[in-house]
Amino acid sequence: MNFAIELTGATVERSGQRVMQDVALAVLPGSWFGLIGANGSGKTSLLRALAGRLPFASGSCRIDGEELADDRAARAMRFGFSPPADKLPDALRGRDVLEHVGGSINDVRPRLGKLHEALGLAPLLDRWIGDCSAGMRQRVAVAAAFAGGHAQVILDEPFNWLDPVAIFDLREVLREMVDNGLTLITALHDLGTLASACDTGLMLADGRVALALGDDALRIAAQNPQAFERQTIDRLRRD
Amino acid sequence: MVVGGIGTSLLALTLTSVDDAIVRFMTIAGHGSRRIIVHHARGMTSFLVIAVAECWVWFGPVAAGIVFATGMAIVLLMTLRVLVYRLHAKRFADFLVSILAGLLMLVAYSMPVALPLIALAIVWQLQRRGRAKTWLLA
């Protein structure tokens, strides 16, 4: 099978500490891969390493069949990546953020497609980031991941700080984009979204894979989300 | 001429303010040092061209040369700040820039001929270290 992303025995270190070890995962092209786990379980480190924002200490990382574990810059160029909302500079406007990531706003806008409306970006383009609420910053940060027009996108907890309407709209548009060929990897805390929107996933605990969730498992989870939530919470408590 | 010189220097300084958060964001977004420096130096470059030309017309070539040299020194200071902000947190970066600026002033006073070489060596070293930080989000 041809995977868009394939990770084997991957290890990430931060400040000399091993924060993720021996992680293996495989993501099919045109699918939504969800990553769950407790705070500090290694989700953010894994996503940043995949997106070339952190180096891998060891292991293999194949993207579109090409081994890129040792080439951080090449990984960074393969993925659209949402910068942490709190790292957006106060002295830039929404438009500036998107232009720094994806070039002219006239080029960025068509790449965003329906996301532009779902994220309510129009009033944010001329607003200073310093004047934005946490939710507004999050909208700009999510849009930034798509500004470069990548076919593979990584979002770290994209639904944080968003209001219920924005969560619903964003989830719907992301699902539609995935159905149209986008390969999406997201860290999530919402088990309902994992069950209903993701195709496959992984649960991390203490920097290791605690549970791999295949498409069958998530299909069953979508049919009975309450039972899935109970089982997953029990598992997270145990690990 | 003195008033003009002080005014020019102050205006040049305000045009070369460097926001550490923007430098870090552009670094995370994959921009190299050169692009970040160009982004920050755009206003200053236009100002310098106009200021040098105006000084030449009103006060002569010596004044224009002084304005040009002052402008270049300010651009060098801005470049150092951009390069150091790519490497370190703001507080330590500002401390390091003040040390480097002091060192350059010392060299300018004691061995002016060596100044371009020393300045280039510092910029090259910082740029080399900063290249490894592009895209990095620690």
ipTM of the complex: 0.91
Q: Give the nearest partner residue to A73 out of B28, B31, B134, using CB atoms.
A: B134
What are A126-180's pLDDT values in tens digits? 999 999 999 999 999 999 999 999 999 999 999 999 999 999 999 999 999 999 9
Residue B17 confidence class, pLDDT cut points 50, 70, 90: confident
CB atoms < 10 A from the CB of A6, how many?
18
What are B87-136's pLDDT values in tens digits? 999 999 999 999 999 999 999 999 999 999 999 999 999 999 999 999 99
What are B62-77's pLDDT values in tens digits? 888 888 888 888 899 9
Please give the residue that has the higher pLDDT: either A107 or B49: A107
Return phi, psi of residue A41, to 5°: -80, -10
Whether residue B24 and residue A91 make contact (CB cut-off 8 A), yes or no, is no
What are B18-45's pLDDT values in tens digits? 999 999 999 999 999 999 999 988 888 8
B29 contacts in A (CB within 8 Å)?
Answer: 83, 100-101, 144
Q: What is the pTM of this model?
A: 0.90
Q: Where are the domains of chain A?
A: 1-79+152-158+186-239
d(CA B115, CA A191): 61
- Give whole-number Cα distances, B101 to A179, A195, B49, in Å: 55, 57, 24
Reply yes or no on domain A1-79+152-158+186-239 having CATH 3.40.50.300: yes
Q: In this structure, what token pair is assigned to residue B43?
A: 């206003």
Nearest CA in chain A to B26: A100
Residue A76 confidence class, pLDDT cut points 50, 70, 90: very high
Nearest to A171 by CA among A145, A148, A151, A190: A190
Q: What integer pLDDT is reported at residue B48 of this predicted model?
A: 85
Residue B13 confidence class, pLDDT cut points 50, 70, 90: low
B26 contacts in A (CB within 8 Å)?
Answer: 100
Computed on alpha carbons and rounded to an integer, the radius of gyration of chain A in Å comes to: 17
Residue A25 confidence class, pLDDT cut points 50, 70, 90: very high
Q: What integer pLDDT is reported at residue B4 of this predicted model?
A: 64
Q: Which helix (H) or strand (E) holds A131?
A: none
Q: Is A52 part of the contact surface with chain B (CB cutoff 8 Å)? A: yes
A97 contacts in B (CB within 8 Å)?
Answer: 25
Q: What is the mean predicted confidence (pLDDT) over A84-106?
A: 96
Side chain identity at B48, as an amino acid letter? L
Tell me the CB-side half-sphere exposure of residue A120, using CA atoms within 13 A: 15
A89 contacts in B (CB within 8 Å)?
Answer: 19, 21-22, 24-25
Nearest to A46 by CA among A213, A30, A54, A38: A54
Grouping H, G, I as helix, E, B as strand and the rest as coil, residue A180 is coil
Q: Chains A and B: how many Cβ contacts under 8 Å?
A: 46
Percent residues over pLDDT 90 in chain A: 82
Q: What integer pLDDT is reported at residue B10 of this predicted model?
A: 66
Percent residues over pLDDT 70 in chain A: 100
Q: Is A84 part of the contact surface with chain B (CB cutoff 8 Å)? A: yes
Q: Is B29 part of the contact surface with chain A (CB cutoff 8 Å)? A: yes
